[in-house]
Amino acid sequence: MADETKPVYLRLREIISASILDGAYGDGDMLPSVRAFAAQQGANPLTVAKAYQSFQDDGLITVKRGVGMFVAEGASRRLRRAERAHFLENVWPPVAAQMRRIGVSLNDLSIEENA
């Protein structure tokens, strides 16, 4: 579920990141145009442009003038590394603390891996 307290461009950025991490867009793949993505998400094209610009600033997408925007080589690896670090530093510690409080072990969790 989207965090409504976050600015729209950051929520759009999370959607794009998730699409890259989930494999919908691979390294070198073309992203939807600003207008197409704005229409798909019901967002202002200027807000989408801001989200795309932040990816470009981070070196995660490249722009070919007159052609479109593409996922940069290595972007999925870099995003995965950043998301993993965020999870381990910010998400996992309170989850682990709650697990200890209520007596849940890792063995109690049923996690299926998709290879």
Read off the pLDDT of residues 82-106 as tens digits, 9 standing for 90 and up. 999 999 999 999 999 999 999 999 8
Alpha-carbon distances of 97 from 12, 91, 103, 108, rounded to whole Å: 31, 11, 10, 15
Q: Which residues contact 10 (CB under 8 A, 6 or more apart)?
A: 51
Looking at residue 39, its pLDDT comes to 96
Vertex 79, ends 72 and 115: CA angle to 5°?
Answer: 105
Q: Quick one: pLDDT at residue 5?
A: 83
* Model confidence at 1: pLDDT above 60: no
The predicted pLDDT at position 109 comes to 84
Residue 70 · residue 62 · CB < 8 Å: yes
What is d(CA 47, CA 85) in angstroms, rounded to the nearest whole number? 27
| pLDDT for the residue numbered 112 | 62
Q: What pLDDT digit, counting tens, does each position of 7-57 carry?
A: 999 999 999 999 999 999 999 999 999 999 999 999 999 999 999 999 999
Q: How confident is the model at residue 62 (pLDDT cuts 50, 70, 90)?
A: very high
Whether 61 has a pLDDT exceeding 70, the answer reads yes
- What pLDDT is attached to residue 45? 95
pLDDT for position 115: 43
Place of tokens 């950043």: 82
Q: What domains can be seen in the chain, in order of their start residue?
A: 1-106 (1.10.10.10)
